[in-house]
Structure 1
Amino acid sequence: MNLQDSPVTEGDFLEVVRILADIVTMEGTLDDKRVKLMGEIAHLIGTDSWVWGFAPLLKPGEQPVYLFQNLGGFDEERMSRLLMAVEHTDTGAMTAPLAEALIQTGAHVTRLRKHIVTDQRFESSPAEPYWRAADIGPLILSARPLEGRGNTIIGFYRPVSAPPFTEREARIAHIILTGVAWLHEASTPNPVVHDIPKLPPRCRLILNQLVHGRVRKEIARDLGISLHTVNDYIKQIFRHFDVHSQMQLISRLKNGDGHDVKQLPQAGPQP
């Protein structure tokens, strides 16, 4: 690539190299590496908040389904508002061009909001008030297909009043995210997450809250529904994944076994 023809500067490329080298050599879990990587990109492109998730269903004409694995820059209330915006049916309709680009290219794609949906379409959408309530305006979405398993889905967000992301910032995010193919591949959740699309939308919304450790009273408060209703949804989620607790649910989505405590071998007869 000729730097004279690119919105990315030589200084940007040096930062990209540094970030990729740091991630490759750092110790820690996959969650640690994702959080570190996303924080570095966020700082470099001047973003307010971000998510890294997995999409077992991302097809044009169908409501996308997401499991958010890591988030940054969101308090619990704003997280709930983000999830309500994401689960809105018209959000799914507006993001169809991203899914189409994934299918057409079969490769990692990164798009500014204006490349996914026009400002006029977004501002007239019934989903727009939900995004505004989450204080999200400009965004970058990046998605990577994982053959036969779904897609990683990554979002960078700025407040409604902030200036739009630039082509340069989207390019930087794309370069870094495509440079860690191993992290996308290694961080795919357990295959049981492919059952998530079978859940009703409100259950999916609450599921994402549960996997991030939210308690029932907080979920009820932020979603504006009764604790009784939340409990009913959680019972449905537990039955769907054949678990009996929030800890088992998290373990089942990550490990597939549904057990949060390993069983110790029973002691034999004492002499």
Structure 2
Amino acid sequence: MGFAGQAQRDAWEAYAEETPTRRTPEFVTLLKADAPSVTRSRRQIWSDADWYRSHAYNERHKPAGIDDYIISICRIPGTRRSSSLWLHRATGAAPFGRREWYLLDVAHREFARHIGGPIASTLQPTPASLTKRQREALEMLLAGLTEKQAAAGMGISVPTVHEYVQAIYKHFGVHSRGELAAHFLRRYRGAMNDVRVGDDEASR
């Protein structure tokens, strides 16, 4: 869903920052289930009466313009970690039905099987977390350009490019261009197609 305005978006982002998914009442409750995957609608977790007088709704969801939701939690095979997906609908919208519940359940179970494999782990850094200018520098590094060539192409100084390169190395947990290339080719080739240099993210 989209947010009705910036105030609603800010309210939800503040909630997300203050309350990690693993600490939400829904996540804590469903994680106790003795099953590899669990998908529940809001009405399967809360009665209408309990939901509309709850702190979760009145202090968190309502200010963000969010009401109905479906949550799905899957245990990642071979690990002690879990993946969670949420679908939300705006206040006043029709509640989710059985069809949406089923689609999320099936899609998440299939998706969870690939986390840590062809699909990068949600716990690993991605190019999307870099600034616009850092992504430009990353593209040039992966294209084989030197820092001097990258500086000329970006219209900035070599020391500034060097700062970007060091930030990129730290971000991906590598120490050389060779390690960066190997790491990127293994995990993130597809991700860069989705995060283009022309994004509106502010540069620094």
Normalised by the length of structure 1, the TM-score is: 0.41
What is the CA-CA distance between 1:126 and the residue it aligns to? 2.1
2: CA distance, partners of 1:249 / 1:114 = 44
Pairing partner for 1:172 from 70, 79, 103: 103
Pairing partner for 2:14 from 81, 84, 99: 84
2: CA distance, partners of 1:135 / 1:162 = 10
Pairing partner for 1:98 from 23, 27, 30: 30
The alignment status of 1:133 with 2:63, answered yes or no, reads: yes
Aligned-residue CA RMSD in angstroms?
Answer: 4.0
Structure 1 runs not aligned, ≥5 long: 1-47, 50-72, 194-209, 214-243, 264-271
Checking the alignment, whether the CA contact within 8 Å between 1:139 and 1:158 is kept in structure 2 is: yes
What is the match of residue 41 of structure 1? none
What is the match of residue 89 of structure 2? 158
What is the match of residue 121 of structure 2? 188
Give the total of aligned pairs.
139
Structure 2 SS opposite 1:165: coil
Pairing partner for 1:112 from 38, 41, 45: 41
Structure 2 SS opposite 1:127: helix
Pairing partner for 2:173 from 256, 260, 264: 256
Structure 2 SS opposite 1:97: helix
What is the CA-CA distance between 1:112 and the residue it aligns to? 0.6
Relative to structure 1, the CA distance from residue 190 to residue 98 in structure 2 (aligned partners, 3 Å threshold; closer, same or farther) is closer
2: CA distance, partners of 1:256 / 1:88 = 27
Structure 1 SS opposite 2:67: coil
What is the CA-CA distance between 1:79 and the residue it aligns to? 4.2
Checking the alignment, whether the CA contact within 8 Å between 1:110 and 1:170 is kept in structure 2 is: yes
Give the percent of matched residue pairs that are identical in Structure 1 and Structure 2. 18
Normalised by the length of structure 2, the TM-score is: 0.52
What is the match of residue 225 of structure 1? none
1: CA distance, partners of 2:98 / 2:82 = 23
Which residue identity does 2:121 align to in structure 1? T
1: CA distance, partners of 2:14 / 2:37 = 26
Rg larger for? 2
Which residue identity does 2:43 align to in structure 1? K
Pairing partner for 2:53 from 109, 121, 124: 124
2: CA distance, partners of 1:249 / 1:125 = 43
1: CA distance, partners of 2:49 / 2:168 = 41
Checking the alignment, whether the CA contact within 8 Å between 2:83 and 2:112 is kept in structure 1 is: no
Relative to structure 1, the CA distance from residue 177 to residue 125 in structure 2 (aligned partners, 3 Å threshold; closer, same or farther) is same
Structure 2 SS opposite 1:180: helix
What is the CA-CA distance between 1:120 and the residue it aligns to? 2.4
1: CA distance, partners of 2:51 / 2:168 = 35
What is the CA-CA distance between 1:76 and the residue it aligns to? 6.5
Relative to structure 1, the CA distance from residue 108 to residue 122 in structure 2 (aligned partners, 3 Å threshold; closer, same or farther) is same
Structure 2 SS opposite 1:163: coil
